[in-house]
Amino acid sequence: MSIINDIPVSSRKYEMVRNLVENLIDENLWEGCESQRKVNQSVLSVAFARTLCLLEKAMSEQEREQTAENVFNQICDFRIFKSKQKNSRNTRLYGV
């Protein structure tokens, strides 16, 4: 069941493996065997934990990108401000 974690979602095989895993989980549930329920619980717990880790990683990367973009924008805004300030001073001094 854990093989689904190793297949990229964009792969054509992903959907097939996902359906097989879902069928196994359903069969384990309907058979009512405690050991099979524990297998389901374990597999789903690992999958959920992995998904959370991937989500946290994606959020951190997005936050870093936004921080870098904000710094870049602040630098650009500062340069534009200084340029306007210089042009304004030249206009006052030289009437240009």
pLDDT of residue 95: 60
CA 13, 18, 21, 26 torsion-angle sign: negative
Q: Which domain holds residue 75?
A: 2-94
Task: Strands of the chain (E only): list them.
Answer: none
pTM: 0.52
Candidates 92, 88, 69, 90; CA nearest to 80 is 88
How many Cα neighbours within 13 Å face the side chain of 66?
6
Q: Which residue has the higher pLDDT, 87 or 25?
A: 25
Q: In which band, very low, low, confident or very high, does the pLDDT at 2 lie, cut at 50, 70 and 90?
A: low
pLDDT of residue 90: 60
How many domains does one find in the chain?
A: 1
